[in-house]
Structure 1
Amino acid sequence: MSTTNLIDLIKGQFGPSTISQTATQLGESESGISKAISALLPAIIGGLVNSNARSELFTTVKEASNSGILSNLLNDNSGNESIITRILHLIFGSGDRLEAITSAVSEYSGIRKDSTNSLMNIVAASTVGTVGRYVTENNLDSSSFDSLLNDQKDNLSHLLPAGFSFASLGLGNWFGNVDAQPLNVIPEPAQTPVNNINPSTPVIEKDVTASGPAKIDVTRSGQTHEIVSERDSGGSIWKWLLPLLLLLLLGWFFWNQCNKKAEAVPVSTTDSTSTEVNSADYNGDTVIVKRETMVVILPSGKTLQAYKGGIEDQIVTFLKSDDYKNATEDQLKDKWFNFDNLNFEFGKAVLTPDSKVQLENLKLILAEFPDAKIKIGAYTDKKGDANTNLKLSNERANTVKSSLNSAQVLEAEGYGSKFAKIPAEASDKERESDRKTAIRFVK
């Protein structure tokens, strides 16, 4: 039976839009905020998993699940301040450990200490809120809660960011001792103090010319020692000769590689942003577009896999925001969200099989926000006959509407090449941005 990975659920709270908004709010760079979160997450999740106060934790996370703490992560969360303070106390205690962690993360990420403190509260709120929601939705008791936390221990070591260690803070054992001591440190062998050697006992030297094991002298106190003759130093020439030979060999290898003529390797093109692909228009110098995936958490606690910064991430963030709640119809008219993994067969209104994933995700999102209503728009580039393009875009918009099969989809409209900006004479790759399908919200 597979175990639930709470770590992925918690990390899913910190998508690009959240990091960007937090950076703006705190007056820090996005890279600094992202780096600080990467260090704070293992500290807080590790503390939660390794806490001995499981009973108090269970009570606190259940309280958090009913507090609305997740919906106010970046807004005024003062009403949940007692929960956040309590969870940090249960994890780190009342000593100086919390202060030490804050200072270390601030130095590691390059953001101010007060920003790190604020970020600590945000990450703690996200953690306790996500865990609390999972506990409530799955009706876990305290025993099941213990098992859930214990199941997370194997995942902790993968959270540790490169270049940041918890060993100096006394937290190394939280992560299976993976950072409990510096790497590449060879312990020095224990040596018997000279004053412990009994002077009345004869010392026997090891003869390097003789076969068999070295002779060991035992003193009257029961201690042993071995003294090696200076003749052993005769092999010291290898101490400098062997590294020199290895260095020469390494230099020859790199010289040989640099003089090899690079061979062209055909690579297939992956493009998840266009709505149509004509492989004949691509030349041999192809590029693979790699995109990072993330977990998008819906209000009910359900999750879905999506591209980081993709349409799912964008619209869930927007629907939760005051910008959507307070927006008028006129303000929504110009705010479109482009599908980034929805494609059609060339010149047709037939969806490719891979497009079903994003459509299913959109269905789930609409179900989570039953009051939300959308309009679908489809666009083409300028190449070809304008009337044909308009007809094709209308068919594509209605294909998406039919696939969603939801009363929340009020309208579907094709705009053809009306809003296209790239000339028809441009390459297919350049005209790609004009071919799209998008949605906007309607009030």
Structure 2
Amino acid sequence: MALNIIDLIKGQLGPALVSQAASQLGESESGISKAISGLLPAIVGGLANNADKPGILDAITSAGSSGMLGNLLGGSSNNSLITTVLTSIFGDKISGLVNAISSFSGISSSSSSSLLNMVTGATLGSVGKYATDNNLGASGITNLLHDQKGIVSSLLPAGLSLASLGLGNVFGGNDAVKVTSYDQPKVEVNRAGETHVTSTPDNNEGGSIWKWLLPLLLLALAAWFLWKQCNKPADQTVVTTTDSTAVPTDSSAMMNDTAVVTGTKEVTDIDLNGTPIKGYANGMEATMINFLKSDGYKNAADDSALKDTWYSFDNVNFKMNSATELEAGSEGQLQNLAAILKAYPEAKIKVGGYTDNVGDAAVNKTISQKRADFIKGQLSKLGVASQVVEAKGYGSEFATVPATASDAERAVDRKMAVRFTK
């Protein structure tokens, strides 16, 4: 399957950058996210349809080593490389594209123009870095871009089309291309990198067949999915992480404050003083309970004996761009943690939030603090308020992976965790 380079680019356009852009441009975060969701496929489509131009290839090669990804907001507004590429792929359609995105997202035209430069910079930098990391020459880059053709009509969010952007003739396609309504694509893709789009059939004889055949296929698919779910073994679970600051499925060490949870991903019954709770074998719950049963907490003289051991959540995930909404299924592990604290009422904990190195450090710290506060609040609602003594957001302070690394590589730095305290 051909690589979808939009997945590479979305890793550079996470919640921290969205929040920073919103603050700098004086716009809402939802408006910024909506604008980016329309700009990104248009820009990638423009590059794909101009992949044979030497200027495009030179720009991508130069961007890969220019450090462009390290300063997307501050370094893209007057970048001659970005200006040259936009002119090459859109020509006199740039102002129309800017205005269409402005109208669609509800942000000003000047903000839309700034985001056009920023997203173009992220695109050139991401593709350039990928080409460098994989030793792609000019032909390799051209082939990679050619593989992206057709993504514009499939990834544009509901409410946008090539015609509405004024780009139908630029891409050599049908100005009347429409996109069936679906949930607006997020700036930060889920880690599986999957995008599901329902296409609108052509209004011809073949389309009339699909009017009755497609519903039947969908019903069959739904029945198969339900059958699979009902017959799934009880010891399996599916952990979905969709947010850039969600806890990675592999619990990992945090610099300075060291996490110790590194479990297999087998769901099992964990004994909590005679009461079984569901959790991962050797995961957060099991490790915390073992520590408490061994009297490790009781024998700790003071906080200094506890401060270096953190336990990463392995099934608590926030929705994208949110510090107050959890993904479905996250509540179970919070309920488990509350049960553990109730079983050991003398134990107290501290909540910590961490992000990767992408975006502004101050914004990252603010986001992580809000999320840590939210976790503390949820635990308080579960009846253990007196045992959750502090919530602190560390942001990217202890991140170890460079901002230019892939989203998967940076996942090690993104987590929510707790530690015992006195």
Give the TM-score normalised by structure 2. Answer: 0.50
In structure 2, what is the equivalent of residue 417 of structure 1?
Answer: 348
| Helix, strand or coil at the partner of 1:310 | coil
Identify which of 216, 241, 245 aligns with 1:309: 245
Identify which of 161, 174, 180 aligns with 2:177: 180
* Equivalent-residue separation in structure 1 for 2:44 and 2:296 (angstroms): 56
1:7-156 counterparts in 2 under 5 A?
7-51=6-50, 53-77=52-76, 81-93=79-91, 95=92, 97-156=93-152
Kindly indicate whether the alpha-carbon contact (under 8 Å) linking 1:38 and 1:160 is maintained by their aligned counterparts in 2.
yes
CA displacement, residues 96-122 of structure 1 (integer Å, 9 cap, x when unaligned)? x00000001001100011111111100
In structure 1, what is the equivalent of residue 196 of structure 2?
Answer: none
Where relative contact order (Cα < 8 A, 6+ residues apart) is larger, the structure is 2
* Equivalent-residue separation in structure 1 for 2:382 and 2:299 (angstroms): 17
CA displacement, residues 269-317 of structure 1 (integer Å, 9 cap, x when unaligned)? xxxxxxxxxxxxxxxxxxx999652xxxxxxxxxxxxx432357xxxxx
In structure 1, what is the equivalent of residue 315 of structure 2?
Answer: none
Shift in Å, 1:35: 0.6
| Helix, strand or coil at the partner of 2:398 | strand
In structure 2, what is the equivalent of residue 6 of structure 1?
Answer: 5
Kindly indicate whether the alpha-carbon contact (under 8 Å) linking 1:390 and 1:417 is maintained by their aligned counterparts in 2.
no
Shift in Å, 1:400: 6.9
Shift in Å, 1:12: 1.7
Shift in Å, 1:165: 1.8
* Equivalent-residue separation in structure 2 for 1:22 and 1:40 (angstroms): 15
* Equivalent-residue separation in structure 2 for 1:400 and 1:424 (angstroms): 16
Shift in Å, 1:340: 12
Structure 2 vs 1, CA of residues 417 and 125 (structure 1 numbering), >3 Å: closer, same or farther? Answer: same
Kindly indicate whether the alpha-carbon contact (under 8 Å) linking 1:9 and 1:130 is maintained by their aligned counterparts in 2.
yes
- Give the residue type in structure 2 aligned to 1:64: A
In structure 1, what is the equivalent of residue 398 of structure 2?
Answer: 441
Structure 2 vs 1, CA of residues 45 and 387 (structure 1 numbering), >3 Å: closer, same or farther? Answer: closer
Structure 2 vs 1, CA of residues 121 and 379 (structure 1 numbering), >3 Å: closer, same or farther? Answer: farther
Structure 2 vs 1, CA of residues 139 and 418 (structure 1 numbering), >3 Å: closer, same or farther? Answer: closer
- Give the residue type in structure 2 aligned to 1:85: T
Structure 2 vs 1, CA of residues 386 and 292 (structure 1 numbering), >3 Å: closer, same or farther? Answer: closer
In structure 2, what is the equivalent of residue 407 of structure 1?
Answer: none
CA displacement, residues 343-392 of structure 1 (integer Å, 9 cap, x when unaligned)? 996669xx945969xxxxxxxxxxxxxxxxxxxxx999x9998943859x
Kindly indicate whether the alpha-carbon contact (under 8 Å) linking 1:338 and 1:438 is maintained by their aligned counterparts in 2.
no
Structure 2 vs 1, CA of residues 122 and 342 (structure 1 numbering), >3 Å: closer, same or farther? Answer: farther
Q: Structure 1 unaligned segments of length 5 or more: list them.
A: 188-265, 267-287, 294-306, 313-318, 320-331, 357-377, 402-414
| Helix, strand or coil at the partner of 1:74 | coil
- Give the residue type in structure 2 aligned to 1:417: K
* Equivalent-residue separation in structure 1 for 2:10 and 2:379 (angstroms): 43
Kindly indicate whether the alpha-carbon contact (under 8 Å) linking 1:171 and 1:180 is maintained by their aligned counterparts in 2.
no
| Helix, strand or coil at the partner of 1:309 | coil
| Helix, strand or coil at the partner of 2:39 | helix
* Equivalent-residue separation in structure 1 for 2:105 and 2:45 (angstroms): 19
* Equivalent-residue separation in structure 1 for 2:306 and 2:44 (angstroms): 49
- Give the residue type in structure 2 aligned to 1:388: K
- Give the residue type in structure 2 aligned to 1:309: T
| Helix, strand or coil at the partner of 1:90 | helix
In structure 1, what is the equivalent of residue 298 of structure 2?
Answer: 388
* Equivalent-residue separation in structure 1 for 2:380 and 2:90 (angstroms): 63
Give the TM-score normalised by structure 1. Answer: 0.48
- Give the residue type in structure 1 aligned to 2:110: D
Kindly indicate whether the alpha-carbon contact (under 8 Å) linking 1:338 and 1:436 is maintained by their aligned counterparts in 2.
no
Kindly indicate whether the alpha-carbon contact (under 8 Å) linking 2:168 and 2:175 is maintained by their aligned counterparts in 1.
yes
- Give the residue type in structure 2 aligned to 1:441: F
* Equivalent-residue separation in structure 2 for 1:146 and 1:423 (angstroms): 50
* Equivalent-residue separation in structure 2 for 1:436 and 1:156 (angstroms): 43
Structure 2 vs 1, CA of residues 337 and 9 (structure 1 numbering), >3 Å: closer, same or farther? Answer: farther
Structure 2 vs 1, CA of residues 117 and 425 (structure 1 numbering), >3 Å: closer, same or farther? Answer: closer
Structure 2 vs 1, CA of residues 112 and 352 (structure 1 numbering), >3 Å: closer, same or farther? Answer: same
Shift in Å, 1:51: 1.4
- Give the residue type in structure 1 aligned to 2:85: I
- Give the residue type in structure 2 aligned to 1:165: S
Instruction: State how many pairs are aligned.
Output: 275
Shift in Å, 1:14: 1.3
Shift in Å, 1:5: 1.9
Kindly indicate whether the alpha-carbon contact (under 8 Å) linking 1:54 and 1:146 is maintained by their aligned counterparts in 2.
no
Kindly indicate whether the alpha-carbon contact (under 8 Å) linking 1:32 and 1:111 is maintained by their aligned counterparts in 2.
yes
Shift in Å, 1:437: 11
Kindly indicate whether the alpha-carbon contact (under 8 Å) linking 2:263 and 2:283 is maintained by their aligned counterparts in 1.
yes
* Equivalent-residue separation in structure 2 for 1:16 and 1:90 (angstroms): 30
Shift in Å, 1:136: 1.5
In structure 2, what is the equivalent of residue 209 of structure 1?
Answer: none
* Equivalent-residue separation in structure 2 for 1:47 and 1:337 (angstroms): 45
Kindly indicate whether the alpha-carbon contact (under 8 Å) linking 1:32 and 1:110 is maintained by their aligned counterparts in 2.
yes
